[in-house]
Amino acid sequence: MLGARVTTQRFAQTSRSTPLKTLLPAVPGHAHRRDQTFAGGSLRSAFLQASPALALGLHAWTRAARLRGLRRFASAEGTSGGMKAVTVSKYGDATQVMEITDVEKPTPAAGQVLVKNVAIATNPIDYKAAAGVLAPGAEAPDKRLIVGWDCAGVVEKAGEGVTDFQAGDNVWFAGDITKDGCFAEYTAIDARLISKKPESMSFEDAAALPLTFQTAWEGLVEQMNVQKGKTIFVLNGAGGLGSIVIQLAKHLGLTVIASASREETVSWCKKMGADHIINHRNELKSQLAEAGYPTVDYLFNAHENDRLGELIQLLSVDGKIAITFFANREHLETVDFQTMWMKRQSLVHTFMFGRAMFDANPEMVGGVMASCAKLVDSGIIKSTATTKFKSLTEIQEAIKVQMSGKAMGKIVLTV
Ligand SMILES: NC(=O)c1ccc[n+]([C@@H]2O[C@H](COP(=O)([O-])OP(=O)(O)OC[C@H]3O[C@@H](n4cnc5c(N)ncnc54)[C@H](OP(=O)(O)O)[C@@H]3O)[C@@H](O)[C@H]2O)c1
């Protein structure tokens, strides 16, 4: 994405006197309006239409520029009253260690907003965090952990220094894995990590998207810098992540081959926009060849890395694979790095919490969410919510579905 970022920076420089509100993302229906408001707009529009990936990046970049300066943010969260939350006090099986408890309601610190959570969604990271995967060797978190990192809600209060959001704004976010999550009545969250939620979508349908869209964006746009007209194979097309990777990849002009193993997941992948489906329970290379693609330009591994060596053999020369969980020594031993080197192939990582965790342009996170909201309101991105629970008290049931390995799309709970 380096080239793209340089290009977007150049745009920012050439338009220094242009109000930032005119730098809209290139989504259908907005191009005409942008041409009317931006001097030299037709050249820019042509560029943006030719490259939707860069257009999305531009929006994230301009939002980052707008929020730059908001550097102070919370390290300490205060409290005011109580609330219900899903907490973990000792690592283990999520169905055993997640419990609903009364905790203190947070107060937004400088740079944060306090959100009244309306709907939340589950992800594998919930049960992985509950199991202590992110704290190897530890038996319990230092402080009780509030899990959950996918939310749509309403801003109740903006903390000091926050100018982009105010009480009453409908927002959405995934959040920061190093801080309390959103399976709770309220969350205090860094304002740089949120955006306004899509106006055309319910809180429940919106809550399904933040974490997975962010990951799909990172893999496709930032890390692999996918190019229109190329091919991608999405391993695990029907999960929460694969469902949005398929949609975004289609929007970016790729031919998408996805994998699914059941009738309902095959139909779901087609509904998400996949051009071809193969079965991940069987050998992959021959199925891909049969579908007309002996190799693919990109591969999005929306599953564990137990087949990493086999997956890399599906890549073309100069091909790229994005993985979504860390590859351990056992996984890496299956990879023929010499052939990868000769074929000039790349292995890239997605970890959507990385920006917040390492303070690496966290503004980009809110910017990407704002781009996603535009894509939703333009009818390009659809919700991936399939299973809905009516109350946070049903979290155990929801987590069981999430842990079953058979979740299709996303599981959402009204708080
Ligand atoms: N790096 C990041 O930032 C990030 C973000 C989000 C997710 N992730 C990771 O991405 C992975 C997928 O997440 P998710 O939310 O999509 O999971 P998920 O919703 O639990 O995925 C469920 C799907 O997995 C499929 N599946 C089961 N066994 C499979 C196999 N052996 N090979 C391929 N697919 C299989 C099933 O499809 P069938 O029923 O058709 O078999 C099922 O529909 C997880 O490991 C998660 O931790 C990482």
Residue 293 phi/psi, 5° resolution? -130, 85
> According to the model, what pLDDT value does residue 81 have?
83
Joined together, the tokens standing for residue 333 give 């031993």
Q: Is-contact 89 261, C-beta < 8 A?
A: no
Task: Calculate the CA 228 to chain-centre distance.
Answer: 21
Rounded to whole angstroms, how far apart are CA atoms 400 and 395?
Answer: 9
pLDDT in tens, 117-158: 999 999 999 999 999 988 889 999 999 999 999 999 999 999
Domain 212-349 annotated CATH 3.40.50.720: yes
> According to the model, what pLDDT value does residue 72 have?
34
Distance 45 CA to ligand 1 centre (A): 37
By DSSP bridging, strand 296-301 and strand 315-323 are parallel
Rounded to whole angstroms, how far apart are CA atoms 97 and 177?
Answer: 18
78-208+356-414 and 212-349 have identical folds: no
Q: Which CATH class is domain 78-208+356-414?
A: alpha beta
Distance 216 CA to ligand 1 centre (A): 13
Strand partners, 83: 103
Domain ranges of the chain: 2-67, 78-208+356-414, 212-349
Number of other residues whose CB lies within 10 A of the CB of residue 138: 11
Number of residues written out for the chain: 415
Q: Is-contact 229 206, C-beta < 8 A?
A: no
pLDDT tens for the chain, residues 1 to 415: 333 332 333 222 222 222 223 223 333 323 322 222 222 333 333 334 434 544 555 455 445 444 443 333 333 344 568 999 999 999 999 999 999 999 999 999 999 999 999 999 999 999 999 999 888 899 999 999 999 999 999 999 999 999 999 999 999 999 999 999 999 999 999 999 999 999 999 999 999 999 999 999 999 999 999 999 999 999 999 999 999 999 999 999 999 999 999 999 999 999 999 999 999 999 999 999 999 999 999 999 999 999 999 999 999 999 999 999 999 999 999 999 999 999 999 999 999 999 999 999 999 999 999 999 999 999 999 999 999 999 999 999 999 999 999 999 999 999 9
> According to the model, what pLDDT value does residue 59 have?
52
Rounded to whole angstroms, how far apart are CA atoms 67 and 63?
Answer: 6
> According to the model, what pLDDT value does residue 134 have?
84
Number of other residues whose CB lies within 10 A of the CB of residue 387: 18
The single-letter code of the amino acid at 183 is F
Distance 303 CA to ligand 1 centre (A): 5
The single-letter code of the amino acid at 92 is G
Nearest CA to ligand 1 atom 4: 324
Closest CA to 7 of 42, 56, 41: 56
Q: What are the respective helix, strand and coil percentages of the chain, to the nearest 5? A: 40, 25, 40
Atom of ligand 1 nearest to the CA of 261: 40
User: 194: which residues sit within 8 A by CB, 6+ positions away?
Assistant: 113, 115, 165, 171, 172, 173, 366, 369
Distance 375 CA to ligand 1 centre (A): 24
Joined together, the tokens standing for residue 225 give 């810098």
Distance 243 CA to ligand 1 centre (A): 10
Rounded to whole angstroms, how far apart are CA atoms 250 and 122?
Answer: 25
Task: Calculate the CA 306 to chain-centre distance.
Answer: 22
Atom of ligand 1 nearest to the CA of 407: 22
Task: Calculate the CA 317 to chain-centre distance.
Answer: 28
Task: Answer yes or no: is the C-beta of 122 below 6 A from any ligand 1 atom.
Answer: no
Task: Answer yes or no: is the C-beta of 106 below 6 A from any ligand 1 atom.
Answer: no
> According to the model, what pLDDT value does residue 56 have?
52
Strand partners, 188: 114
Mean pLDDT of the chain: 85
Task: Answer yes or no: is the C-beta of 239 below 6 A from any ligand 1 atom.
Answer: yes
Joined together, the tokens standing for residue 368 give 């990407």
Percent of the chain with pLDDT over 90: 79
User: 25: which residues sit within 8 A by CB, 6+ positions away?
Assistant: 48, 55, 56, 58, 59, 371, 374
> According to the model, what pLDDT value does residue 10 have?
27
